[in-house]
Chain A
Amino acid sequence: MSQKKKITARVVSQKEAAPQIFDLWLETELASDAHPGQFVAVYPKSADTLLPRPISICEADREQNRLRLVYRIAGKGTREFSAWRENEEVSVLGVLGNGFPLEKAQGKKVFLMGGGIGIPPMLQLAKELQADKQIILGYRNQDLFLAEELRQNGTVYIATEDGSVGCRGNVMDAIRENGLKAEVIMACGPMPMLRAIKQYAAENGIEAYLSLEERMACGVGACLGCVCKTKEVDHHSHVHNARICTDGPVFEAKEVDI
């Protein structure tokens, strides 16, 4: 594990990838330690904010020391981020969390499933994972993002809530409609999607790894703000709670009660 640190990063570029979805490249030494499924905590500068915002790593260019963050405007912090321009200096804490266990899926038939703003971490994962990758993406409508880049790293299936692209419905509908099968699932997305995947994985005896999200303060395992319920007593907390920021954000589906 690399050492966590709070550093100053430089904005390389930013563009709107879809309505309310922004695509930010940062130049930072943190890129060299980034693993798929990990996240960084980005500090807004506005005086009416205090805490850093946890954002998953979409892509890490280790040669050029660059991190790509694709995020949705969810409040005043991320709204501020969306106005950042080239060469702006910003504070980032990282690299945080455990990331996806690539070794569990290497060489296997896998689903990489992303729903909404859970799609971005699938890109670095798809780039690094050597496997038979079926990438299943769920969007609200035709405002797609990252789909083309993901296509270069596996077979992409799309579901949209309004049926404007791919199958109508969610990622589970896409699996059924296309008759897809997998030995391992790696997923990130809204809680109802993760619950459905957990159930599907249990019914079909499939290993599944889910990236969870929760309101967070410290990001480093101290405040105990971002816990999730665990099936067994957690090794660190000694209760049925694990810290999403430190023990996660990726958990094996059968280990967590979601």
Chain B
Amino acid sequence: MNTKVTIAGVTLNNPVMTASGTFGSGMEYGEFVDLNRLGAVVTKGVANVPWPGNPTPRVAEVYGGMLNAIGLQNPGVDVLIERDLPFLKQYDTKVVVNICGKTVEDYLEVVERLGDEAVDMLEINVSCPNVKEGAIAFGQQTDALYDITSQIKKKAKQPVIMKLSPNVTDIAEMAKAAEAAGADALSMINTITGMKIDVYRRKFVLANKTGGLSGPAIKPVAVRMVYQAAQAVKIPIIGMGGIATAEDAIEFLLAGATAVAVGAMNFVNPYATVEVIEGIEAYMRQTGTEDVRELIGAVERE
């Protein structure tokens, strides 16, 4: 039985990764799961310098999910290199570093700093809805996405994954723009912009007023977008959005994702990643699937 998948020449032991921002740098969940079991660990978004993030409250539970407006708090790329990468290097898992920035130059600085580090792939966050400058501003228009992707590709030594926003009119057009600019892979979806109001206090629950919706509530949207993008591009897609179980993960694979990521459900069940991996293996045995790659895009395939 083969569970390995390859993305841009990087072979993962299995298709299950972690969604950036939901797994810290791996250290926090290493107490619960064996990080060697994961296909890849995707670290919390990192910028060229430390970012303080947004005021609190930063999180709120909603039906079927949660809103967050962390605002990309991060310790900066130097700390990632000195502290987090050596930690992750101890494990038999691939390391993907998620990168955020306010300007194209910010992104390029991080990309260049990571050029000679033990990082298997770069994931570019152009889809965070919770910061005013940068981030999503690059991910909502095809020309801006094309421009930042091609500039990053010129400097990057590792394969580049563009993390797309669902807060767009046409996801297929965004996927095509990233592919045309040379992206090696896509990951989707980031969170969907949402809001919660406390009706008794008549106040916004989040200090930032809006936040990104994640969790099971967004899964149908994510599956649809992965499907549409997979129809539009040839580069591999990493699917995410509300994955809690192996069935959820398999749904994304069938829709066309080559790999998947477990996100907000780590907060609910700290063992979720390994349970999804074990569930995929059980599904493969149960359905006589010899190779996990048989599942990719296999929905109603003749």
Contact = CB atoms under 8 A, between A and B. Distances in A.
Given A215-B59, A225-B59, A227-B56, A6 B75 contact: no
B181 interface: no
B220 interface: no
Nearest to A236: B75
Contacts of B32: 4-6, 220
Contacts of A73: none
A227 B270 contact: no
A3 interface: yes
B29 interface: yes
Nearest to A218: B267
Interface stretch (B61-69, B138-146, B222-230): B61-69
Given A226-B56, A238-B50, A241-B53, A220 B31 contact: yes
Contact of B267 (A4, A49, A222, A239): A222
Interface in B44-84: 44, 50-53, 56-61, 63-66, 68, 70, 73, 75-76, 79
Contacts of A228: 56
Interface in A214-231: 214-228
Instruction: Kindly state the interface size class of chain B when it binds its partner.
Output: 35 or more
A227 B73 contact: yes
Contacts of B21: 223-224
B36 interface: no
Contacts of A43: 268
B91 interface: no
B129 interface: no
Contacts of B22: 218, 222-223
A215 B58 contact: yes
Interface residues of A, number: 33
Contacts of A239: 50-53, 73, 75
A237 B56 contact: no
Question: B interface, by DSSP: helix, strand, loop or mixed?
Answer: loop
A51 interface: yes
A4 B270 CA distance: 10
Interface in A6-56: 6, 43, 48-52
A4 B33 CA distance: 11
B59 to A, nearest CB: 4
B266 interface: yes
Contacts of B23: 222
B271 interface: yes
Contact of A227 (B24, B58, B60): B58
Nearest to B59: A225
Nearest to A4: B31
A93 interface: yes
A127 interface: no
B244 to A, nearest CB: 9
Contacts of B53: 224, 227, 239, 241
B166 interface: no
A140 interface: no
**From A5, A6, A51, residue with most partner B Cβ within 10 Å:** A51
Contacts of A254: none
Contacts of B29: 220, 222
Counting chain B CB atoms within 10 Å of each CB, the highest count among A48, A50, A238, A246 belongs to A50
7 contacts: A51-B66, A216-B59, A218-B266, A220-B31, A221-B24, A225-B57, A238-B75
The 7 closest A-B pairs by CB, nearest first: A238-B75, A225-B59, A222-B24, A222-B28, A218-B267, A215-B57, A239-B52
Interface of A: 3-6, 43, 48-52, 93, 214-228, 236-241, 246
Given A51-B61, A222-B29, A222-B267, 8 more contacts: A51-B267, A218-B267, A221-B24, A222-B24, A224-B21, A225-B59, A227-B53, A227-B56
